[in-house]
Structure 1
Amino acid sequence: MEIHLIRHTAVENPDHLCYGFAEMPLRKDFEEDLRAVQMDKDFDVIISSPSQRCQLLAKYFRLNYETDERIREMNFGDWELKKWSEIPEEEINPWYEDFITIKAKNGENLLEMQTRVCEFWNELISKENIDKVLVVTHAGVIRLILQSVLKFPLENMFNIQIDYGKRTVIDLRKGLVSIRNINL
């Protein structure tokens, strides 16, 4: 199975707002960004995050896709759409110290996100008679999939740069995993 993971194109966020689950518009020149995306064809299955920033990419390429809640970005709860600089220090500092287990009020932590993403991933790779898959999603989801596949420590996931509008390609053949490309 050949799995293409693509991150949505760049968002418009001049105020440096915290966002994950929240809808964040694509940048004003998003159509130019979409034209620059290099997209393969002939996917057997196409799955998108329900976030509009992901669905716009799938719609631009006129892809027949389904959505899956499990591949949304992290839920930052009460921090969503607040400026990072305006989140109270007594809330944000513990998260900076331990972003794996600490979460924003009414949000989720990285372990909870990892659980839902891995559930999605394990279900996807267990499907039979599928040769080529496209997943339109977010940087956090792609990093968690790479972390699951490569089995590196969770705290190192931000060491991988996942660019807007770029694909990561993973091959799964006879139990062997190959990361063919990152940011293609």
Structure 2
Amino acid sequence: MHLYLVRHPRPIVAANTCYGSTDLEVTAEELALAHASLLPVLPKKAVLFSSPLRRCRELSASLAETLGCQAPTYDERLAEMHFGDWEMRSWDDIPRASVNAWSNDMVAYQPGGGESVLQVAQRVRAFRDELSGLNIEHAIVICHAGIIRLLAACEHGLSIPEMALYAAQKPHKIRYGELLVVDC
């Protein structure tokens, strides 16, 4: 299977804001830019999966129509990590001690009382395992940088805790609207 992992377009949010699972909009311009850049490189009639968050949902719906795919399957397991009471706060306003506690335990700590990377890894692995059993040649997944990192980590044959640690320790440079292709 060829897995096409796409990060959503840039959402409407202030810089330096923690916004994991918050359901943010994207501008029509950002959506059009991502759509135009992805259209020539994504396979037609592929099976399309998406995070249910609006910044992914809008892109997946427009791509499905243009690529001749069936309607996207919106899967909660593809939503970005929930940062609890850190959501929509400036990173500068989050107590340094809390950020340090997360840095000291990137896998199990639940930032803001939300999800841990381990919990997110468990749901992402469940999605990936289910996807493996579908006998699909091309799958497009519209999601978030954290989810892309975890899906890519699945391909290394790691246990779920190792997958979470791998994704948490590896800084990402996944741009908005960027595509990563993984041959499974």
Normalised TM-score (structure 1): 0.83
Q: Look up the match of 1:90.
A: 97
Q: Which runs of 4+ in 1 moved over 6 A?
A: none
Q: Look up the match of 2:4.
A: 4
Alignment RMSD: 2.0
Where does 1:28-67 land on structure 2 (aligned, <5 Å)?
29-39=29-39, 40-61=42-63, 62=65, 64-67=71-74
Q: How far off its partner does 1:11 sit?
A: 2.1
Percent of aligned positions that are identical: 30
Q: Look up the match of 1:138.
A: 144
Q: Which runs of 5+ in 1 are unaligned?
A: 173-184
Q: Provide the secondary structure at the position in 2 that maps to 1:150.
A: coil
User: Between Structure 1 and Structure 2, how many residues are aligned?
Assistant: 171
Query: Aligned partners of 2:35, 2:155: CA distance in 1, in Å?
Result: 30
Q: Which runs of 5+ in 2 are unaligned?
A: none
Query: Aligned partners of 1:86, 1:100: CA distance in 2, in Å?
Result: 22
Matched AA of 1:165 = G
Query: Aligned partners of 1:8, 1:132: CA distance in 2, in Å?
Result: 19
Answer whether contact 1:47 1:136 (CA < 8 A) is retained: yes
Answer whether contact 2:43 2:138 (CA < 8 A) is retained: no
Q: Provide the secondary structure at the position in 1 that maps to 2:17.
A: coil
Q: Look up the match of 2:120.
A: 113
The answer to which of 83-92 and 38-47 deviates more is 38-47
Structure number with the higher helix fraction is 2
